[in-house]
């Protein structure tokens, strides 16, 4: 196993870029970790619940792997931010460029219609109780929503549209 600084404490994934002075070119990249062993309640929510939310039951992961299903949402989160802020100097909310709130950070924990606060929003459940909001090829996924600057609220795969 490889341990990445701040994983499970401050981040579940991140994006950044390489420096031309070190590798010869600028290349944006993203990283997401599998939290199954170390911190599923932190990085695989809502398939695992943090200890600080007593009584909340975890949702069943759509592919039977809490760590990887949690990573899917983190990967989507980081790709959205990588596309809109590849060099960490482009789109962000807030007035402090040293602590940007990016497009996916604004919608952390929102997975469906009505989400916000501690409510994840409306999500679909399949015949065996697994929770998802997006269909893939022979797989289902739960991905968090991202900020839509055109309508000024979080948008994403909508359980109401299925």
Q: Report how far residue 41's alpha carbon sits from residue 50's, in angstroms, rounded to the nearest whole number.
A: 4
Confidence of residue 158 (pLDDT cuts 50, 70, 90): confident
Q: To the nearest whole number, what is the mean pLDDT of the chain?
A: 91
Helices and strands counted in the chain (H then E): 3, 8
Structure tokens at 17: 């870029």
What local confidence, expressed as pLDDT, does residue 38 receive?
94
Residues 52-77 have a mean pLDDT of: 95
The model carries a pTM of 0.90
Structure tokens at 140: 């289902």
pLDDT > 70: percent of the chain: 96
Q: Where are the alpha helices (DSSP H) in 9-150?
A: 20-23, 40-43, 66-84
Residues 46-71 have a mean pLDDT of: 94
> Is the predicted pLDDT of residue 162 greater than 60, yes or no?
no
């Amino acid at each position: 196993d490889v341990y990445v600084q701040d994983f499970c404490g401050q981040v579940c994934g991140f994006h950044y870029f390489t420096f031309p002075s070190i590798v010869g070119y600028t290349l944006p990249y993203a990283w997401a970790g599998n939290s199954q062993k170390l911190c599923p309640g932190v990085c695989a929510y809502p398939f695992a619940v943090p200890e600080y939310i007593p009584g909340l039951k975890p949702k069943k992961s759509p592919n039977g792997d809490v760590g990887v299903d949690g990573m899917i949402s983190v990967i989507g989160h980081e790709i959205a931010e990588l596309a809109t802020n590849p060099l960490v100097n482009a789109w962000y909310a807030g007035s402090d460029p040293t602590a940007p709130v990016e497009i996916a950070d604004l919608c952390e924990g929102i997975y469906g219609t009505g989400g916000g606060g501690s409510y994840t929003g409306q999500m679909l459940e399949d015949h065996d109780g697994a929770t998802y909001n997006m269909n893939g090829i022979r797989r289902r996924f739960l991905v968090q929503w991202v900020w839509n600057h055109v309508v000024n609220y979080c948008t994403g795969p909508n359980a109401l549209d299925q």
